[in-house]
Chain A
């Protein structure tokens, strides 16, 4: 019997899946999804709770067997995780360690198992700021410290691919900033990072690429910039006189654009070229604008737009 695997996807992809499905009973937790994560990029993996992000990550790591579909990780088939997991670091659904062992000993359990040099344990503990608490038992760590230990464990194999599921959970703003800088730093060395997060502003700030899921299906897969620029921009106008806002809505509507008052300003669905004629029309109507800007929707707004029932 042929045990060969047809790799039909781009060789430049760190992760490539085709028609991947996981069925639990009558429900498809992941429903025929296909996407690629290019090598050397930071790819955001976003979607509402229950969208299938964690199940997909577990399938990529060989923890859950796909019902149908195929894929590759670092060019190796998903059916043979032993061929690629030595080059993959992962933090899945929060940090899981042995409560009665110290942070250092927990990492040594994994370093011994993965045959990684033990010198690396203290280097990584230092890198994530836990060296001074390395001898403390894991159960005494704060949530942020546990999360940082999880990131250190993921970095143990000096990975080519890092898969992080909600890595900023429990971190304070400084910790979130550290993780952001760390990921940017790692991507600079050619590492590929797949990071799932509910903090879409974080993903927008760091992710070159994006995979967006809902109800187990891929809503979008590609460059973050491409997704955002494809969205309709908004011209936002403000006036010092609140009574002028209704007049501005009227001017925009008469020009054939959708407009509404949002937080003491008028939001007009139109591209940047409308701003000049809008400004002129407002001036001619006796309305002086205090500000006029053109904005693309944020990832969060785009996410809600794409994942809303309507």
Chain B
């Protein structure tokens, strides 16, 4: 397993992918965290979908991590793209046959690849947390946000749960990407279908069909780190996401195990 993990990281660390992803993470997290403070008094809101997050809310123990949690959705989309591309590209390049000749135990190979991509996602989440917290601390003073409760023991313990929720959400998005990459064997198709479904179709469905959002994978995954604006509980989001994760993982493993490699 370790050699599969290390082999996959040789591909993940290539500069175009690694640096490109990190630049996107820094840019998007920086933008979301900065706008959270810079638009504090804007009537158009400072959170996602025009949500207004007040000084009082930001001054609470978890206020330091609001920008980080709000970045989870975009981090998830980035993970989805990376997981889908890294999986599907083995088919389009024809490199999967080389990998399977060197490691014919398919489920082991898939598990090693998955763990490597999960660790890659962990790096992006860490990066995002560092950037968001740095920006929050830098801008709080100038925007009149009290930071007295940010460095208490309860705030530090809240960081663990926020980080865990963001990470779980990001992995869930990535798993969807990997499954679609395996299913469609094309990076462009898998990414475009996944992004269109999660960002467009699910939002239309949620806005037009009452009560449907608690059944939609994208809505459930994005509700784990940020509970604002959803009509279902955190535990519902967690159970629903876990169920989808299980379904997607079993589907990906079954496909990978059984399908002939003809590319």
Contacts and interface: CB of A to CB of B under 8 A. Distances in A.
A associates with B: yes
A62 B10 CA distance: 25
B interface: dominant SS: helix
Contact of B4 (A58, A90, A113): A113
Contacts of B231: none
Nearest to B104: A81
Contacts of B94: 93-94, 96
Interface residues of B, number: 25
Contacts, number: 79
Contact of B7 (A62, A97, A113): A113
A63 B97 contact: yes
Interface in B130-171: none
A108 B13 CA distance: 13
B14 A100 contact: yes
B98 A85 contact: no
Given A62-B104, A113-B4, A96 B97 contact: yes
A115 interface: yes
Contacts of B261: 58, 63-64
Given A64-B261, A65-B260, A115-B3, A98 B95 contact: yes
Nearest to A54: B262
A88 interface: yes
B262 A113 contact: no
Interface string B190-221: 00000000000000000000000000000000
Contacts of A65: 260
Nearest to A110: B102
B11 A88 contact: no
Interface string A75-88: 00000011001001
B181 to A, nearest CB: 15
A200 B4 CA distance: 39
A110 B102 CA distance: 7
A82 B109 CA distance: 12
A113 B99 CA distance: 8
A94 B102 CA distance: 17
B246 interface: no
Contacts of B111: none
Q: How large is the interface on A (under 10, 10 to 19, 20 to 34, 35 or more residues)?
A: 20 to 34
Nearest to A99: B93
Interface string B85-103: 0000100011101111111
B6 interface: yes
Interface in A196-255: none
Contact of A88 (B3, B89, B98, B101): B101
A180 B87 CA distance: 36
Contacts of B3: 112-115
A109 interface: yes
Contacts of A96: 93-95, 97-98
B7 A63 contact: no
Contacts of B98: 96-97, 110, 153
A82 B102 contact: no
A61 B10 contact: no
A97 B89 CA distance: 11
Given A101-B11, A101-B14, A82 B105 contact: yes
Contact of A113 (B17, B89, B102, B260): B102
14 contacts: A58-B97, A63-B260, A85-B104, A92-B97, A94-B94, A97-B95, A101-B10, A109-B10, A110-B99, A110-B102, A113-B4, A113-B102, A114-B3, A157-B102
Interface of A: 58, 61-65, 81-82, 85, 88, 90, 92-94, 96-101, 105, 108-110, 112-115, 153, 157
Q: Which 4 A-B pairs rank lowest in CB-CB distance, beginning with the nearest?
A: A96-B94, A113-B7, A81-B104, A114-B102
